[in-house]
Amino acid sequence: MAESKAQTYKVSSNFINQLDQLIEIERKEADKYNLKTPTKSSIIETALNEYYLRKLDKKGGDVFATFIQDIIKEQLELYHVAIAEILQQCLINELEIKEYTSLLVKGSEELKRIKIDDEMKYMVESPSRFEVIIKEKISKRLTEE
């Protein structure tokens, strides 16, 4: 840890009010999460470090930009995960609809007489997922008995 030195600066009353507001916000968060409340010095030091990264340090500017990018990326990742889940559910729903349609078409003698396209023919002729599962369960029960 760096050596601490005391220094005195003149600041505006607006600065003091802002610092007091930050202390109050930090105190409430610390109480909420059972943490140590940061001191005025630590808040000022954090602010100065962030300012330094943005303004003075050429390498730090990249660090600050990376920091911001990471925050944005983290937030967007939540949306990407949600969108991926929704798309997956849509795909599952589409497959279930095709399976259901296939079962309906297979069961309807009237629809079998109608000319159907290749995709529908494939759906009608191929066994449905449910038929496969039902056959597996029946054979499993028969072998158990």
Angle 76-78-79 from CA coordinates, rounded to 5°: 65
Higher pLDDT pick, 54 / 74: 74
pLDDT digits (tens, 9 = 90+) for 90-129: 777 777 777 777 766 666 655 555 555 666 666 666 666 6
Residue 21 pLDDT class (50, 70, 90 cuts): very high
Structure tokens at 8: 């005195």
Q: How far apart (Å, rounded) are the C-alpha atoms in residues 51 and 47?
A: 6
**Stretch among 43-52, 80-89, 111-120, 121-130 having the lowest mean pLDDT:** 111-120
Output the DSSP codes for 49-115.
HHHHHHHT-HHHHHHHHHHHHHHHHHHHHHHHHHHHHHHHHHHHHHHHHHHHHHHHHHH-HHHHTS-
